[in-house]
């Protein structure tokens, strides 16, 4: 790609990324924030392309735009309207700002002042194949651990997010017992004794029949 096109791409994508990220800070609606996050992520994916990392770029779009943002929207939709507020907490914003500015100064200084000794070789070609091969040759252990981590996260997320009515009842009863200072036995909640009405012997019922 020519130098002009590269400049154009870099600066517009950088503006998109930083602009999207800044709008997350500003926007007061959480759903807007997620939409801005998506814009920012797309900008990052574009930047990956300018760095000739096309596999990573596509994965970025696939995972962040296609999955993570949707997951966030889902979580937001599962909590009620009042919780969709994205405002900053005034108490922490000030100190956070100070810390962040310090971090920013430090990183800028490091980024600009260090001699990175960067070299510019030809970009990798056929990255998908190369990454795949090195994943199952050199990085097989991290790869397997990553798989286990993802499985654990899957199971954990399901276990956390899932609470059926019975669990809720047990939980509520245990808290109530704690408040009342009683002993608590979950069995009473899960399998309460049947009311007398149901266990009593029923009188023989005359066969009901519609008049014809």
Q: Considering only residues 119-178, where is the footprint of another protein by CB under 8 A?
A: 119-121, 123-124, 126-128, 130-131, 134-135, 138-139, 142, 146, 149-150, 152-154, 156-158, 160-161, 163, 165, 168-169, 171-172, 175-176, 178
Per the listing, tokens 């194949």 go with 129
For 168, how many CA atoms within 13 A lie in the half-sphere containing its CB?
Answer: 5
What minimum distance in Å lies between the beta carbon of 49 and another protein? 10
What minimum distance in Å lies between the beta carbon of 126 and another protein? 6
Distance from C-alpha of 80 to C-alpha of 30, rounded to nearest angstrom: 12
In the shown chain, the binding pattern of residues 73 to 112 toward another protein, with x for contact by CB under 8 A and - for none, equals xxxxxxxx--x-xxxxx-xxx-xxx-xxx-xx--xx--xx
Distance from C-alpha of 41 to C-alpha of 54, rounded to nearest angstrom: 15
Q: Would you count residue 39 as binding another protein (CB under 8 A)? A: no
What minimum distance in Å lies between the beta carbon of 184 and another protein? 13
Distance from C-alpha of 127 to C-alpha of 133, rounded to nearest angstrom: 10
What minimum distance in Å lies between the beta carbon of 198 and another protein? 19
For residue 3, CA distances in Å to 7, 84, 111, 112 come to 6, 44, 23, 22
């Amino acid at each position: 790609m020519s130098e002009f096109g590269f400049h154009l791409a870099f600066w517009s994508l950088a503006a998109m990324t930083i602009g999207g990220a800044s709008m997350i800070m500003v926007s007061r609606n959480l759903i807007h924030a997620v939409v801005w996050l998506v814009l920012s992520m797309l900008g990052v994916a574009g930047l990956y392309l300018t760095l000739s990392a096309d596999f990573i770029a596509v994965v970025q779009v696939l995972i962040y735009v296609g999955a993570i943002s949707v997951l966030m929207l889902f979580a937001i939709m599962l909590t009620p309207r009042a919780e969709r507020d994205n405002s900053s907490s005034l108490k922490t914003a000030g100190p956070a700002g100070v810390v962040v500015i310090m971090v920013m100064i430090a990183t800028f200084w490091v980024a600009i002042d260090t001699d990175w000794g960067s070299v510019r070789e030809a970009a990798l070609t056929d990255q998908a194949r190369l990454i795949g091969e090195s994943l199952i040759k050199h990085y097989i252990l991290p790869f397997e651990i990553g798989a286990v981590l993802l499985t654990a996260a899957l199971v954990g997320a399901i276990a956390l997010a899932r609470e059926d009515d019975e669990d809720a009842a047990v939980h509520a009863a245990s808290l109530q017992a704690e408040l009342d200072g009683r002993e608590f036995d979950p069995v009473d909640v899960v399998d309460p004794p049947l009311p007398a009405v149901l266990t009593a012997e029923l009188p023989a019922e005359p066969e009901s029949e519609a008049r014809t």
